[in-house]
A and B are shown apart, each in its own frame.
Chain A
């Protein structure tokens, strides 16, 4: 009993006990799968057999044009979502933080609601909205301005629009909330000092808000890069499956699912997964280094 209580009240053990759940889940659900994915990506995995084939899966990837399409699609989607989902939410956050907007709570709640809906449901609704049939909302809008129905999800650029609308609808509210919490931490005295020095609204925003929001911006950018590269369900729901005309909706994860689950080629799918990880890492580390996240705090 005594030993037990000394453990429970031990100040040395306490921190370890508190981080243990995280360390355990991290090891079991992240580190272990990561290592086995690397190992599996060097194997040819059959029904009953497993053979080591070295880097053959990777050399096959280099020649696989469908994979290249998937990478290009994911990359494009990632760049476009970052370009839309950082400036606009920042603007909305500033607006919501200012005195121009009434009933702030209502706006915040309204903007956040889309994030709570299931992608399966919202993706299906967007599929129906963007259907090529004349009853789709988008084609009804076109009809109002006298244009014929359009095959939205069969053309590359319009399907890209559909994906971006879905993504922005879903994530604008969440990013706005991140930026609002960032704004809360900015000392109001700085704005007062700025305006006493004669700065106009734009200058206050440009020289106080944006630099001080940098940590939040970097965080949002980092998760947006990851989310953009790993997008799958949105495209899966929009085309009611993993197959889209000429693969205009295929993403890296979609390709991984196709290889791993639909064609049961786990080794090759793991190679796809490893490439995705490496890509996401390279982009994010570059971005973090450029933004100076690894520099030591200057005293």
Chain B
């Protein structure tokens, strides 16, 4: 008898060790961080281990929710508590799971294709939006009805980024990701310039002239520049497209075209700055990597455009810079153009497989669009919220205890309020990853590292992208 017990035990141990072997192998495979359209998700998605928690009213409707960022799930859990307090007849219990980036999107896609196993609610990163939204309303619940109470205050250009090709709203955004210009005002003041000089900038030419003035004032030393241009990111090109109202993806209907006037102008402008010694190429490709932070900390560059969420990079990685930086709107090519564009983000969806899709949609819109939800997004997650009514709300926007309000010379929301009607959209559709990849791998490097002519480099890119369509 004893021997039998022993052999059973041994077999059990064998089987268990094999299974754990599989699990750990899977874990190392999926440790890879994501690549996304922008640098934001790369750091956002560093959720490594799977974390599962169940929150809410055990007697309410049970739901599943997935995310690739644990902080998002913590935020939803807090909002769930508020929802249950305010809606005692429609309470919910949610099991939250945090998966690594690639795993989560892959699982979601498989379960949507297979028709079972999808969660009720799920975060979708901007770069994956074209994949997940492809199934339109056979896969996802349109949010148009649920967001109706809040829609009037929401920034429409941001909502548009999460629409399907049928025009219905499928995703709820966290933030605008509005691009603005960051200035190291402290360094500029040392060079005898002032905030008034920045505020006087309207066009890119003004901006470049200010850069020249700054460099002349400090004596044009080696290794010091006005700005750095990116070879590993397309933020500058996105801003230019928003200014001219163009979109290189062509949206849902048209073909992709990178040989746009806006793109040519911006690339030429960047290349000229490089050749004149006003700009350098961002170390390691863009400003949202360690070398980029160090470059900023060393005051090698004093002005650069980036999305609002870059504020958190300052507080997290460059705390020594507190009090030095000033935020202003981006320059334009011609007066009167849009001056900003929303970059990056998470469009949370409700799936058709949900046990109660309407309830899930109501909760989601409450969590991500109501003033209470937006307040928490700003305080807990530090994003520039899409509810424009809050931008001018003094208690919300001018709270002096807020870390960003303390860190920067001016109130970030004042800048947002100023550019409210000037924020454009560039769509993320199925050709987007191809365009982004070709620009970052090849075209931008050819133009800025090898000094290839802008027209030639863009013509080559257009050829390569057309082959993929």
Q: Which residues of A contact B (CB under 8 A)?
A: 5, 8, 17, 21, 25, 29, 46-48, 118-120, 128, 131-133, 135-136, 151, 153-154, 232-233, 236-237, 240-247, 257-258, 261-264
Contacts and interface: CB of A to CB of B under 8 A. Distances in A.
Contacts of A242: 35
A131 B290 contact: yes
B135 A261 contact: no
A110 to B, nearest CB: 23
A262 B291 contact: no
A199 to B, nearest CB: 45
Nearest to B35: A241
B291 A47 contact: no
B180 to A, nearest CB: 24
Interface stretch (B367-375, B392-400, B438-446): B438-446
A212 B360 CA distance: 67
B22 A243 contact: no
Nearest to A17: B11
A133 B295 contact: yes
Nearest to B134: A47
Given A243-B440, A246-B442, A263-B434, A132 B32 contact: no
26 contacts: A21-B14, A29-B22, A46-B134, A47-B131, A118-B31, A131-B283, A133-B294, A151-B449, A233-B31, A233-B32, A237-B32, A240-B284, A243-B232, A243-B437, A243-B440, A245-B441, A246-B445, A247-B441, A247-B442, A257-B102, A261-B102, A261-B106, A262-B127, A263-B430, A264-B134, A264-B430
B211 to A, nearest CB: 21
B32 A236 contact: yes
B289 interface: yes
A48 B134 CA distance: 9
Contacts, number: 98
B284 A131 contact: yes
A151 B440 CA distance: 16
Contacts of B285: 245
Contacts of A233: 31-32
B131 A258 contact: no
The DSSP consensus for interface residues of chain B is: helix
Contact of B18 (A25, A120, A263): A25
Contacts of A236: 32-33
B138 interface: yes
Contacts of B451: none
Interface string B282-315: 0111000111001100000000000000000000
A233 B27 CA distance: 13
B195 interface: no
Contacts of B130: 264
B216 to A, nearest CB: 24
Interface string B1-41: 00010010001001100100010000010011111000000
Interface in B28-86: 28, 31-35, 42
Nearest to B434: A263
B374 to A, nearest CB: 31
B355 interface: no
Contacts of A237: 32-33
A70 to B, nearest CB: 12
A258 B109 contact: no
B42 A240 contact: yes
